[in-house]
Amino acid sequence: MRLGKCLFLVSLSVLLSACGTSAETSLPEERVVEILDVSDLDSQKAEEIETTKNIYQRSFEEVFGTAAYETESTEPSETMPTETTEETTEPAPKNYRGCIYDANGIKLTYTDLNEGENPKRMFNDDFSVCFSNVISDDSKGLDSVYDEIMREDNNTDCTTGRSVQVTYDALVQRALYSYMSEIGMKGSIVVMRTDGSLMAEVSYPSYDANRYSYEYGYPSTLSNTDSPLMNKAEQTASPGSCFKMMSEIIADKNNITVLDDEGEWMGIHNWDWNKGGYPKEKRTLADAFRNSSNVYFAKVFEQLGEEKILEELSEMFNFVNDKLISCDFGGMRNTVFVENDGDLRRTGFGQANVKTSPVFLAALTREAIFGQMVKPFTLKAQVNSKDYTDVIEEGSQPYEVLAEYPLEYQANLLEGMKGVAQDLGAAVPDGYTLYCKTGTAEVGRGDYLYVSGCLLNDNDNTSESPIYDDYSNYAENGSYIIITQLQNPDAFGFSFASNTGYIYKRIMAIVTDTYSYDGEDPCPYSDETEEETDITQDPYEDDQDQREEETSEEQDDNSDEDQEDDTKES
């Protein structure tokens, strides 16, 4: 009995010292005794411990009363009458989350029910890395945003909630990520269709969500410097001269179409301020936009004043300081804060206290080309988890207008954006015309290089606001808004955004190409599934050598041009 006595004396001593002898001692909120598991002990020791537990229970009752310490086998005390209470209904347990399918019906992430009471949230191995920082819980992605929807009843007799189909094209997403990985392009790429649906939202570098959640030690291998868990496409930073799409419209609307441009003014420099040709007297708005004059637009903003500028940005472009634009994937937030006249002047070319995200730049570029800004969205439909073609509820509304500007000021802007595209020097796919604005932004830790472009289909029918049951026939008449953000230009030897022409060329080719998926369904959805489907085939692997060869040729073709000192920042 020595073991039992020791347990009793030690436990009782701790108990009495903790509670004292005061009659006012409050009852503990939780049991303070850990019941020992005696199943693995021999019968004699088990009997001793069980006896000690019974002694301890009686001692506990003497201090706190019977109600404070009950086990499943404890009978109610005679001094504690049993009360009859109404039976309470336990809330129904939440369903397991359903799947996320892409626009083509490819399953991107799912709940693996093979783990019994501890199901795992898993990614399709073929697309895990390229989508992890867009979808996973670890990145506060769509798995978190659509959590409640994916736990709603699936309208079938299973414990799995409904699934969602998103607007992303997983094949394009993976191809773009693979290209960024090949050339070491840190940053983001956003591709948006003209109805507002996001076709791709790529952030490099990323990580493997399957390994991050279930492989010990993997998270520590990820570098914090490049923030692989962050979705750079939705993070805000200075947009640089891409902001001038708004500045040009504001200048035109307020009839500031000619100004003297000294090249250097009030501490502000044009990209070519020391290359001769200045001062430029009576410089036109069109020429200032195409050649990206910082001085010109700084003068426009100073002339109009802070109140007028903020009013125009708000009314025509929904660009309001710290206002959340709610979207189905979260939201977009911009910064435009003016502390002094210097800030106001630098705001004219997207610097000072101006920040926005690549996703917002996609919405802004869409407005520049078509006159209306529509809300970006990713939720195509809520669907049956056992059959994604069975739509339970439609998703977000396409063509939801956020802002617009008077179309009488569109012609000059489009002419300027077409000229910038020509200066970019990127070969455009047949059947399309490219309009764009480039930007070199100072962000405090180096420069970010942007291209905000629209690849306009020669047969574009956006004015008819077509609704797509799926996007399989979008390429026939659809146009693409393509935003690139390069965060490590020094690795390429780039000084200006216009250096990135060959990169943008390849991205346009990927977006307008057609890919096929040969991978198997990673999780045929059934609560009775006993085995995971093994995914071993990478349908993109066969094209690896060809893509590397093409990339090498493109770099060779552009190497001389990329080193020119007189490259423009358009």
DSSP characters over 225-259:
TT-TTS-GGGS-B--GGGGHHHHHHHHHHTT--EE
- Find the helix or strand (DSSP H, E) in which 454 lies: strand 447-457
Least confident of 115-119, 151-155, 342-346, 440-444: 115-119
DSSP category for residue 29: S
Decide: 516 and 527 in contact? Cβ < 8 Å.
Answer: no
DSSP category for residue 356: B
What span, in angstroms and rounded, lies between the C-alpha atoms of 449 and 453? 13
For 307, the token pair is 């109140």
Amino acid, res. 181: S
By C-alpha distance, which of 525, 435, 425, 445 is closest to 482?
A: 435
pLDDT at position 158: 72
What's the rounded mean pLDDT across residues 245-250? 98
What's the rounded mean pLDDT across residues 190-206? 98
Decide: 319 and 246 in contact? Cβ < 8 Å.
Answer: yes
200-231 pLDDT, tens digit each: 999 999 999 999 999 999 999 997 778 999 99
What span, in angstroms and rounded, lies between the C-alpha atoms of 536 and 534? 6
Distance of CA 306 to the CA centre of its chain: 32
Q: Please tell me which residue, 211 or 45, carries the higher pLDDT value.
A: 211
Q: 0.75 exceeded by the pTM? A: yes
The CA dihedral of 280, 284, 287, 292, to the nearest 10 degrees, is 80
DSSP category for residue 161: -
What's the rounded mean pLDDT across residues 495-511? 95
pLDDT at position 332: 96
pLDDT at position 118: 77
What span, in angstroms and rounded, lies between the C-alpha atoms of 416 and 422? 10
Q: State the CB neighbour count (10 A cutoff) for residue 552.
A: 11
Strands 258-261 and 280-284: antiparallel
Q: Please tell me which residue, 528 or 374, carries the higher pLDDT value.
A: 374
Q: State the CB neighbour count (10 A cutoff) for residue 76.
A: 12
For 39, the token pair is 């199943």
Decide: 454 and 434 in contact? Cβ < 8 Å.
Answer: yes
pLDDT reading at 162 higher than 50: yes
What's the rounded mean pLDDT across residues 169-194? 97
What span, in angstroms and rounded, lies between the C-alpha atoms of 156 and 94? 15
- Find the helix or strand (DSSP H, E) in which 171 lies: helix 170-183
Q: Work out the mean pLDDT of the chain and round it to a whole number.
A: 81
Angle CA 445–450–453, to nearest 5: 170
Query: Which residues on neighbouring strands pair with residue 110, listed in sequence order?
Result: 122
Find the radius of gyration of the CA atoms of the chain: 31
Q: State the CB neighbour count (10 A cutoff) for residue 394.
A: 10
Instruction: Name the range with the highest mean pLDDT among 34-38, 99-103, 557-561.
Output: 99-103
Q: Please tell me which residue, 144 or 95, carries the higher pLDDT value.
A: 144
Instruction: Name the range with the highest mean pLDDT among 43-47, 363-367, 384-388.
Output: 363-367
pLDDT at position 567: 36
What's the rounded mean pLDDT across residues 435-463? 95
291-316 pLDDT, tens digit each: 999 999 999 999 999 999 999 999 99
For 221, the token pair is 């291998």
